[in-house]
Amino acid sequence: MKTMLAIISNALCRMTGRNAGAQTVSEGARVVVSRSFADFTPQATFDIKKCDLHRLEEGPPVKAELTREQGLQYYRTMQTVRRMELKADQLYKQKIIRGFCHLYDGQEACAAGIEAAINPSDHLITAYRAHGYTYTRGVSVKEILAELTGRRGGVAKGKGGSMHMYAPHFYGGNGIVGAQVPLGAGIALACQYQGNNQVCVTLYGDGAANQGQLFESYNMAALWKLPCIFICENNKYGMGTSVERAAASTDYYKRGDFIPGLRVDGMDVLCVREATQFAADHCRAGKGPIIMELQTYRYHGHSMSDPGVSYRTREEIQEVRSKSDPISMLKERMLSHNMASVEEFKEIDIEIRKQVEEATQFATSDPEPPLEELCNHIFSKNPPLEMSK
Amino acid sequence: MAASLRCFLRSGKNTVSALQRRDFHRSAPAAVQMTVRDALNQAMDEELERDERVFLLGEEVAQYDGAYKVSRGLWKKYGDKRIIDTPISEINVLLQAGLRPICEFMTFNFSMQAIDQIINSAAKTYYMSAGLQSVPIVFRGPNGASAGVAAQHSQCFAAWYGHCPGLKVVSPWNSEDAKGLLKSAIRDENPVVVLENELLYGVPFEMSEEAQSKDFTIPIGKAKIERQGNSITLVAHSRYVGHCLDAAAVLAKEGIECEVINLRTIRPMDVETIETSVMKTNHLVTVEGGWPQFGIGAEICARIMEGPAFNYLDSPVTRVTGVDIPMPYAKILEDHSLPQVKDIIFSVKKTLNI
């Protein structure tokens, strides 16, 4: 009987467009009604923020469709990246990770949204805040953490570290600010050369946006109509310098001048997905490059050696966390549209926690690379070089 | 023993007034004369034909036929897709996933604008990725002094690139070197820097029948003994191999027989060939166009000292190098800021204590 009422109530709520989240089952009552999957809304449409446009007549749609499966998948991806980064923070403070460590928490919607809109056969290159993308491009948490701890089981056998992780169709992880952008344009050139209808997503930050080599890349990409999606992850700070103090124009989506651009809400995974889909379609249609500016935020400082509060206020960080957190936003959307249950999300969280713990176990117990690896991988397909000691 | 006909090579790309010819033992009847420029052109043509992943990009390489005409005719033959004119953007060093680009620098002086990419994105990537991402790219162009192009256009980068693990660096002298090394570079899975020499582009050399074949390659990492001798070892790369041979001809009249080694590859350097030679001759002079500090000669000295050949040296090694100054413009000054044949002769005699 109660189930029947629940179903009718849902139906009524949907018809009236009312928030179906305020359920027939009152929060306080804790009624034991096991919800089967049949109870959940399989698909819903959400309003997303309209993108600002530069040299474009139309932009991405202002409504996004989300299926239950997709929602859970995006949630899982973002939550995994979040937990992985927080674990990296912990390990760094324990001095188990050393050197540079640039964390991505807060920006998960960018990596998850982009990956949702491109194919595994497309290409992606980014700068040093790369752990999120390394994951979305297919590397396991285990191999990422083991690379951070410098063990032989790491994705680069411990020889790359935080900023130099690679995977098929993922070109790192690049330490020199802005250098990855000409590389990305080159990958796009290869896509065009080979005629394979693939695109290259080339990411950079608001700090790198002022580098000269970007403008050289914009010129060539536009001149030759390369299928390159230039994406600026604007997290408002280039290290400790706010965008107002660094750039004469903070409209990063317009900085490509003759290249069309979109400014996108980078905290909303659906917005990022729709915009990336739009951009990919643009490139695949042979229209040339396009720029996306994702407005996003990082909770951590620039790197682990930066507390992140000398150039911004704790209040600001707290405000973003409470009002715009990408994971919370997705979760609330799904809950409010009855696409999943609180328990389900909890279960996913527990699974992820377990996965990250296991990965940590591996990353802290796996041995360091053997000394024989020292001089390996200098050259491809070469006999080993003699090194004078 | 074939008699050798030798003239001295005058500097200046428009005033090559003599040609230098080496006769080989039993020179093959089918040997032809070919300039270094044509040898490089032939190498690229053959490799473009052989593998469609190979392509050439650089400033003026297509419609202009190349700033120094090295890529003459290639655009007409292969078209826009394979021969790409780039804007003045030395960051035309782009990562071309799965392709095998040849990136031409109009001169290696401009490569400094892209040197971050060459070192940090090309040279180190295979190592940083522990073998996941290889970079089969060739960077080529004229290196070192030309004639009258002054300080910013005359620097030798052999020591700069030779310093970096992950790169291979070659420096051809004659046409066979140019063709064989460039083909090897293009076929190599790793980033290779090919340091050509603008003054040599127009110089004809003999190309043996073997060298004319489409599959003629010279192994990277192996030096060549251009002239046998017992008195002293001369080691050089690029243009100065010719200078050493000229000096050797003069010294031979006085009974001093120089063994001349053409390094061919800067990195990895073929130290063994040098050591074997020094163990025979007991004396060593190095010759290079670059500056002395931290240069090719300095490296050779260190390596000789560290190896078995040290005990065979009868006198310290002498380095003949470019003068430690930015290249001046006035001809008389320019001529005196680079090794001349007489400098090599002087150094040999000094080393031999004659």
For residues A142-157, give the mean pLDDT.
96
Q: Is residue A57 included in any domain, yes or no?
A: yes
More confident residue, A107 or A26: A107
Q: Is residue A9 situated within a structural domain? A: no
For the cut 50, the answer to whether the pLDDT of residue A23 exceeds it is no
Looking at domain B33-212, which of 3.20.20.70, 3.40.50.970, 1.10.287.70, 3.40.605.10 is its CATH number?
3.40.50.970
CA distance A382 to chain B (A): 9
Q: Which one of A220, A375, A376, A386 would you mutate to disrupt binding with B, by most B Cβ within 10 Å of its Cβ?
A: A220
A266 falls within a domain = yes
pLDDT tens-place string over residues B132-150: 999 999 999 999 999 989 9
Distance CA A267, CA A178 (A): 23
Cα of B291 to nearest chain A Cα, Å:
25
Residues of chain B with pLDDT under 50: 1-21
Query: For residue A11, what pLDDT is reported?
Result: 53
- What mean pLDDT do residues A278-290 have? 98
Split into its structural domains, chain A has a count of: 1
Residue A76 has pLDDT above 90, yes or no: yes
Q: Do domains B33-212 and B224-352 have the same CATH topology?
A: yes
Minimal Cβ distance to B189: which of A155, A216, A381 = A381
B-chain CB neighbours of A130 within 8 Å are none
Nearest CA in chain B to A214: B91
DSSP B123: I
Categorize the per-residue pLDDT at A18 as very low, low, confident or very high, splitting at 50, 70 and 90. very low
Q: Is residue A30 part of a domain?
A: no
Res. A179: pLDDT tops 70: yes
Say yes or no to pLDDT of A146 above 50. yes
Which amino acid is residue A185, in one-letter code?
Answer: A
Describe the strand order of the beta sheet including B284-287 as a list of residue ranges: B224-227, B258-262, B232-236, B284-287, B318-320
Optimal mutation site among B133, B135, B190, interface A, most CBs of chain A within 10 A:
B133
- The DSSP annotation for A205-265 comes to ETTGGG-HHHHHHHHHHHHHT--EEEEEEE-SEETTEEHHHH-S---GGGTTTTS-EEEEE
Asked if B127 lies within 8 A of A377 by C-beta distance, the reply is yes
Asked if residue A38 belongs to a domain, the reply is no
Return the structure tokens found at A227.
Answer: 């299928």
Give the pLDDT band (50/70/90) at residue A5: low
B224-352 is a CATH 1.20.140.10 domain: no
- Tell if the CB–CB gap between B132 and A190 is shorter than 8 Å: no
Indicate if the pLDDT at residue A30 is higher than 60: no
Q: What pLDDT shows up at residue B9? A: 40
User: Looking at the predicted structure, is the pLDDT value of residue A154 above 60?
Assistant: yes
Calculate how close chain A gets to B47, using CA atoms only, in Å: 17
Which is more confident, A162 or B90?
A162
The answer to whether residue A48 sits within a structural domain is yes
Average pLDDT, chain A: 91
For residue A233, is it within any domain?
A: yes
Catalytic sites of B, residue numbers: 90, 153
- Domain range for residue A195? 43-373
pLDDT given for residue B235 in this prediction: 98
The secondary structure element, H or E, covering residue B79 is helix B74-82
pLDDT(A152) > 50: yes
CATH number at residue A117: 3.40.50.970
State mean pLDDT over A23-27. Answer: 43
**B130: nearest CB among A160, A179, A183:** A160
Q: Where are chain B's structural domains?
A: 33-212, 224-352
Whether chain B has a CB inside 8 Å of the CB on A25: the answer is no
The interface predicted TM-score of the complex, written ipTM, equals 0.82
> By the CB < 8 Å criterion, does B55 face chain A?
yes
Output the pLDDT for position B63: 85
Residue A4 domain-assigned (yes or no): no
Give the E-state strand segments of B40-111 in sequence order: 54-58, 83-85, 100-104
Q: What is the mean pLDDT of residues A157-164?
A: 95
